[in-house]
Structure 1
Amino acid sequence: MTEDDTRTKVAAAERAALKLATLPDAERSAALHDVADAIDAERERVLEANERDVTEAEALLEQGEYSQALVDRLDLAGGKLDSIVEMVRSVAEQEDPLGRTLSARHLDDDLDLYKQSVPIGVIGTVFESRPDALVQIAALSLKSGNAVILKGGSEAAHSNRALYEIIVEATADRPDGWAQLIEAREDVDRLLGMDEAVDLLMPRGSSEFVQYIQDNTSIPVLGHTEGVCHVFVDREADLEMAGEVALDAKVQYPAVCNAVETLLVHADVAADFLPGMVGTYREHDVTLRGCERTREVVDVAAATEANWSSEYGDLELDIRVVDSLVDAVDHVNTHGSKHTESVITEDADRAGRFMRGVDSASVFHNASTRFADGYRYGLGAEVGISTGKTHARGPVGLEGLTTYKWYLEGDGQLVGTYAGDDPRPFRHEAFDGEWSPGRLSGE
C-alpha cells in the first residue's frame, strides 16, 4: 500500500469518526449485534482462514522461529469463536459511555458548566498474534463512537482479514470507513507521522515494540507492555489456597500477559509450601527456576538476575524466597512491569500494606492474576492492559476510549461583568444535573 493509500484510509476514518460521535447508542449497539450474528454465521470462513495461519505458524515453530505460546494465542479452535461472539454481545449491552455528564457546576445565576463524555476520535492500534484482539478492539471502538485503524501481526494475516471483512460487511449501513485495516510495516511507520489525523495509538506487544512506537510518534500512546506478574505467598497465607491460586495463575492459560511469571514465598512458610507446590507444578509440566534459598528447599534450576524481569508466556516460572513483606514489595517494584500482582494472606493489614505498596495497575488479595481482564472486570472486553498511569490504567474498556468536552449554558453573560474594578463574583457551586442543549438549572 502506498502512502496515498494509507492517507486515504485515515482520512476516511476521520470522516467516519465525526459521524460516529453523533450516532445514538441504540444504533451503535445494534451494529454490534449485527457483527456478532455475522461472525457466528461465518464460522467456517473464519476457521478456514485461521487454519492457514496456524499451519504456517506451526511450520515456523518447527524451525524455531515461533514459540508454542504464539501458536496457542493464534489458534481460534476449541470454543474461542464462541467467546468472541459472546464478547461482542457483551460490549453491545454495556452502558453507553458517551453523553454522560461527569460534572455540573453553577458559575453564576443562569450560567452553568457541564463536563460531558465524548469519543476520542480516530484510534490506531497495532497488535500481535491474537486475531480475537481485532474483534475486541473494533467492538469497543464502535460502541464508544471511535473510528479505528487496525494493524495485526503478519502471523495472523488470514484470520485478521477474514474477521475484518465480516465486521465491515455487517456494518455496511453505518458510517462508511469507521474501521480500516492496514497490513504492512510501512503503513505503521506512515501512521506514526499522522498526528494531525490520529488521536491515540494503542500498541499491544513486547516492551521493545511499544518503546519503538513511543519513540517514533508525537501521537499520544496508550502503552500495553509485557506482563511480569507476581504471586506473593505471605507468612499468614492459607497454604492450600495459595497452592490453588499459584497454580491457576500459571497454568490456566500461560500464553497471556496476566499469567504469573514469578512466585514469591515468605521464608517462614517456604519449607512447608514449596515442596508440594513444586511437585504440583511439575505435574503440569512447568519448567522451574529458583533463587539459592529456594534451591535449599527444593531441587530446581538456578534463576539468573535476568529471569526476574522476564515474561515467558509459557509454562515457565521463577521462584524466590523473601524475608519479609517489604522485601516482596521491593522485588515487585524493582523487577515487575506494573501489570498485575497478587498477595495470598489471611491478614488484612498485611494485604493492605502489599496492595498499597506495589506500583501496579491491578493488585489482588487471595485471587489469581488471571482475573486481570476487561471482560472479567465487567468492561465487556478490553483493547489492552495499560501499564502506564495516564490516560487509562489496567484493562482498558469503553471508559478508556472516551475523553470529555466542556459545555457552557448561559443567558447573555459577558466576561466583563466578572472583571474590572467591581467584578461580580462567581458562584462555582457543584450540582446534580444532566446536560441537554439549552438547559439551564433554573436556580
Structure 2
Amino acid sequence: MSAAEEIAKLAKSAFEDSQLVASAERVNALHHIRKALESNKSQILAANREDLQAAQIEVDAGRMSESLLKRLDLDKSDKWDSMLQGISDVADLPDPTGIVSYAKELDDGLELYRVSCPIGVLLVIFEARPEVVVNIAALAIKSGNSAILKGGKESNKTTQLLSQAIATGLSQSSLPATYVQTIQTRAEVASLLALDQYIDLVIPRGSNSLVQNIQNNTRIPVMGHADGLCSVYLDESADVDKAVRVVLDSKTDYPSACNSTETLIVHESLLQSVWPIVGRALLDAGVRLLCDPPTLIALSSLAPQPLNLALAGPSTPSSYRTEHLALTLSVVALPSLPAAVRFINAHSSHHTDAIVAESQAAASAFCRGVDSAGTFVNASTRFADGFRYGFGTEVGISTGRIHARGPVGLEGLVIYKYMMRSTDAKGHVVGDFGAGGKRYKHKDIVAAAVPF
C-alpha cells in the first residue's frame, strides 16, 4: 500500500469512527486546537518568517508575485488573531448535522425524514495562505468530516507546525488523531485523486489552472474555488459618493484577495460626470487604470489636469480576463445595463459582482441577470467572505453550481440522507400499497430532529 493510500484509508476510517462521537466532542476538539495554537504561537510565527524569507528570494528573482508573498504572512495585521477567533466562531455555530429538512408520515406508523449529515472525507488543495489549514480544519471538524489538506510549497514550514498543533488538539479529544491530516507533495495529490473509494469530495482553492487540472485528473466530485474576476458596474443612476466609496474599497482594501474588484464598468452617460471623479480617487490611491478608449479619453480631456495620468493607459482584450491581484483595475464604458450584464457573464469568473445604483429596477435586474455566486447593490465586493457572512470562516468560495455556492461554510460541507422508521407491529412492506391496497398519506410531520 502506498503512503498516499494509507493516508486516505486512515482518513476514511477516522470519518466512519467519528460518526458515533457526540457533536459536543467536536466542539471540545476545536477548543483544544485553539489552545494548542496559542501555546505554539512563537514557533509557528518563526516558521512563517522563514517561509517569507524564502519567498522574498523568489519574488526578487521574478519567480513569485508580490501578491502571493503578501498572502503568506501570518503575522500581518490581525491575521493570527482572526484565525484563532475563526475557530471559536465555528465552535459556537449551531451543529449543521442532524437537521430535518423534510418529514412525512407515509402511512400510520411509517415515517420518513431527510436529515443533514457530513459528506465524508474531504481533500482540500489550496495555495499560499497558511491560515487556510486552520480554517478548513475547524469547518471539517465541526461539520463531522475528516480532511486531508495540501497547502502550497511556499508555506510548508508554517503548515507543518500548524498541522502539528491541530493534531495535538485532536489527541486531547475523543476524535481520531488522523481526523485531519496534511500532505506536502504534488505526487501525493496525484495519488489521492485516484482514490475515489476513500475520498468523497475534492476542494481546490486557487487558480483556474489548479482547478481545471484537478477536474481533469479525478473521478471524485470537485467543488472548485477558482479565480476572483470580480467587477463593479456604475449604473446611470449611480450616486457619485457611493460610487467612490464602493469602488475604492472594492479595489484597494486588499488588492490580492479573490474578492477584490478587477474590472470597473461605467455607463456611458457617466463619462463626463461620475467617472472622472471616481477615476481621480482611484489614481490618487495609486491604482493603475487600464482603460478602453472612451474612459481614457474622458480622463485625458479633463482641464486643468488634476490626475496622475502616468497611471492611466490603454487596456487590451485580455485585461478584462485578468485577475490582477494588485493595484490595477481594468475599466470599460458600456451603453446600458443589459450590455453590462452580458459583459460580466462573458468575462467574469462568476465569483462576486456589484452594482452602484439608485434605481431599484436596475439593481433588481442586475442581481437577477448576473450569473455569479454573489451579486451586491451599493456594497463592496470585499464583503464576499465567510467570516463577514457569519459563517465563522470558510473553506473557500465556490464558483460552481453544485450544492454549495459562494463562501462555503458549515452548510456547504453537509449533504443529507433519508431515514425511515416503521413502528407497526409487522413492519411495513411496499406490497401493502397500490391497487386494492393502502394509499400513501404523505402527511407533514413537524420535527426539528429525528426522533430515533
Give the CA deviation at 1:83: 0.7
Q: Secondary structure of the residue that 1:177 maps to in structure 2?
A: helix
Conserved? CA contact 1:21–1:146, under 8 Å: no
Distance 2:389 2:449 in 1: 29
Give the CA deviation at 1:188: 0.5
Q: Counterparts of 1:16-55 in structure 2 under 5 Å?
A: 16-55=14-53
**1:342 alignment partner in structure 2:** 354
State which of 408, 421, 430 in structure 2 corresponds to 1:415. Answer: 430
**1:441 alignment partner in structure 2:** none
Give the CA deviation at 1:391: 2.1
Distance 2:450 2:297 in 1: 68
* Structure 1 spans left out of the alignment, 5+ residues: 439-443
Q: Secondary structure of the residue that 1:129 maps to in structure 2?
A: coil
**1:276 alignment partner in structure 2:** 277
Distance 2:24 2:343 in 1: 48
1:87 partnered with 2:86: yes
Distance 2:367 2:390 in 1: 21
Q: Counterparts of 1:387-398 in structure 2 under 5 Å?
A: 387-398=399-410
Distance 2:352 2:189 in 1: 29
Distance 1:198 1:156 in 2: 24
Distance 2:379 2:371 in 1: 18
**1:184 alignment partner in structure 2:** 185
Conserved? CA contact 2:98–2:450, under 8 Å: no
Give the CA deviation at 1:276: 2.3
TM-score scaled to structure 2, two decimals?
Answer: 0.94
1:113 partnered with 2:112: yes
Distance 1:133 1:96 in 2: 21
* Structure 2 spans left out of the alignment, 5+ residues: 301-311
Deviation string for 1:361-419 (max 9, x for gaps)?
00001100000011111111110100001021110000110111111011211111014
Question: Could you tell which deviates more after superposition, 18-27 or 67-76?
Answer: 18-27
1:206 partnered with 2:187: no
Deviation string for 1:420-440 (max 9, x for gaps)?
x413111112221144454xx
Question: Could you tell which deviates more after superposition, 171-180 or 100-109?
Answer: 171-180
Equivalent pairs, count: 435
State which of 376, 379, 395 in structure 2 corresponds to 1:383. Answer: 395
State which of 419, 425, 428 in structure 1 corresponds to 2:439. Answer: 425
Give the CA deviation at 1:25: 2.2
CA RMSD of aligned residues (A): 1.1
1:282 aligned partner, one-letter code: L
Question: Could you tell which deviates more after superposition, 129-138 or 30-39?
Answer: 30-39
Q: Secondary structure of the residue that 2:272 maps to in structure 1?
A: helix
2:265 aligned partner, one-letter code: L
Distance 2:178 2:48 in 1: 25
Distance 1:223 1:436 in 2: 32
Distance 1:347 1:432 in 2: 42
1:356 partnered with 2:368: yes
**1:406 alignment partner in structure 2:** 418
1:334 aligned partner, one-letter code: A
Distance 2:220 2:124 in 1: 12
Question: Could you tell which deviates more after superposition, 106-115 or 424-433?
Answer: 424-433
Distance 2:451 2:390 in 1: 32
Deviation string for 1:152-205 (max 9, x for gaps)?
010010111110111111111322210111111100000110001000000011
Give the CA deviation at 1:270: 2.1
Distance 1:266 1:392 in 2: 33
2:156 aligned partner, one-letter code: A
Q: Secondary structure of the residue that 1:245 maps to in structure 2?
A: helix
Distance 1:81 1:286 in 2: 28
Distance 1:381 1:201 in 2: 18
Distance 2:11 2:214 in 1: 21
1:131 aligned partner, one-letter code: P
Conserved? CA contact 1:374–1:382, under 8 Å: yes
1:423 aligned partner, one-letter code: G
Conserved? CA contact 1:104–1:434, under 8 Å: no
Deviation string for 1:110-159 (max 9, x for gaps)?
11100011111100010000001111111100000100000001001011
Conserved? CA contact 2:30–2:87, under 8 Å: yes
Question: Could you tell which deviates more after superposition, 121-130 or 76-85?
Answer: 76-85
**1:365 alignment partner in structure 2:** 377
Q: Secondary structure of the residue that 1:403 maps to in structure 2?
A: strand
Deviation string for 1:294-322 (max 9, x for gaps)?
11101421111111111111111001111
Conserved? CA contact 1:115–1:406, under 8 Å: yes
Distance 1:33 1:267 in 2: 54
Conserved? CA contact 2:121–2:147, under 8 Å: yes
2:360 aligned partner, one-letter code: A
Distance 2:170 2:428 in 1: 45
Distance 1:273 1:22 in 2: 60
**2:121 alignment partner in structure 1:** 122
Deviation string for 1:349-371 (max 9, x for gaps)?
11000110000000001100000
State which of 50, 58, 61 in structure 2 corresponds to 1:60. Answer: 58
Distance 2:431 2:28 in 1: 48
Distance 2:433 2:361 in 1: 51
TM-score scaled to structure 1, two decimals?
Answer: 0.96
1:257 aligned partner, one-letter code: C
Distance 1:437 1:5 in 2: 42
**2:332 alignment partner in structure 1:** 320
Conserved? CA contact 2:96–2:410, under 8 Å: yes
Distance 1:71 1:324 in 2: 39
**1:165 alignment partner in structure 2:** 164
State which of 8, 11, 20 in structure 2 corresponds to 1:10. Answer: 8
**2:74 alignment partner in structure 1:** 76
